[in-house]
Amino acid sequence: MKMIVITGAAGFIGSCLAGKLNENGVFDLVLADDFSNQTKADNINTKKIKEKVERSILFNWLEQNHENVNFVLHIGARTDTTEFRKSVFDELNVNYSKQVWNFCTRYQIPLIYASSAATYGLGELGYSDDHALIPSLKPLNPYGNSKNEFDKWVLQQNEQPPLWYGLKFFNVYGPNEYHKGRMASVIFHAFHQVRKTGKVKLFKSHRPDFTDGGQLRDFVYVKDVVSVILFLMNKKGFSGIYNLGTGKARTFLDLAANTFKALEIPENIEFIDTPIDIRDKYQYFTQADMTKLFSIGYQQPFFSLEEGIADYVKNFLVYQEYL
């Protein structure tokens, strides 16, 4: 029986991916993660799987079971943008990912891995996923650097898995992020602020060219992220690094307004200073250039921000449901 290995499987995107594969009748899943974090347990408790493997022993397991693995979805990473210890990211995001790549290359197993829009920094070079631009990108924090370092390393490899995709996730939101704390999406935080206080706090703009709440991000619903991954698992001949956003930047004001609308509560927005520890590393605009993904045949329409927030709030957050 051939198995699909998912790293970071108890986390946000990884668990949603496992849920969708179950929905599609795929149950031979091997979930790899650090399962000691009990706050993530509910993400996978209802999933039908083959086996759980601790992140620390995954490579031993892979060596023993490689003949039965037909795909690796490497979604696991340290994603805390407020963590500034480079050593943490070197270990988990760079070196661990190199081991995954080398394993998939050695045994010729297809691979999809998670990169990030954090690689684009302030967007000085735009948001194109052209491989030629990747060595020149200037991420704003150690997390973004770790993702870009791995992307650069991948592009230098002559030996590769038979099929591989690196996906630069933009601002992903949706079910199964209950455990993420400060790193959960702004929509998650807005929902809980409205429920608790009747208002939403947004960061002020500290740039003259943006109004308060007018900062723009490419918010992409996790259901779309999962759809793209499933599409690429069956798309041979187009290996490479791809953006994964909607291609349409929206303001934080739009986000807040739609959260109030989904809860049927009047808008009440307050602006607060952006925290000093992230102020000089704060992205005021991100928007994925999606030309490359569309050019290889991805045609499914993305959730608009209105549609995504309505679905997330009404069908998941209100009931604390899982995908």
DSSP secondary structure string, 285-307?
B-----HHHHHTT--PPPPPHHH
Asked if 176 and 12 count as a contact pair (C-beta separation under 8 A), the reply is: yes
21 CB-near residues (< 8 Å, 6+ apart): 4, 27, 29, 230
**Which tokens sit at 102?**
């080398």
**Which tokens sit at 175?**
């079910």
Token look-up 């690689």 returns 119
312 is an active site residue = no
CB crowding 261-292: b at 16 or more within 10 Å, else e:
ebbeeeeebeeeebeeeeeebbbebbbbbbeb
DSSP secondary structure string, 169-212?
E-EEE-TT-TT-GGGS-HHHHHHHHHHHHS-EEEEPP-STTS-T
Asked if 116 and 106 count as a contact pair (C-beta separation under 8 A), the reply is: no
Give the span between the Cα atoms of 282 and 285, in whole angstroms.
Answer: 9
Give the span between the Cα atoms of 253 and 321, in whole angstroms.
Answer: 26
**Which tokens sit at 157?**
């490899």
Q: Name the catalytic one among 180, 199, 204, 281.
A: 180
- Pick from 171, 194, 118, 204: nearest CA to 305: 171
Q: Name the catalytic one among 113, 120, 127, 143.
A: 143
> Is 311 exposed, middle or buried, given 0-12, 13-18 or 19+ CB atoms closer than 10 A?
middle
Give the span between the Cα atoms of 197 and 107, in whole angstroms.
Answer: 54
143 is an active site residue = yes
- Pick from 259, 216, 225: nearest CA to 245: 225
Q: Which residues are catalytic?
A: 143, 180
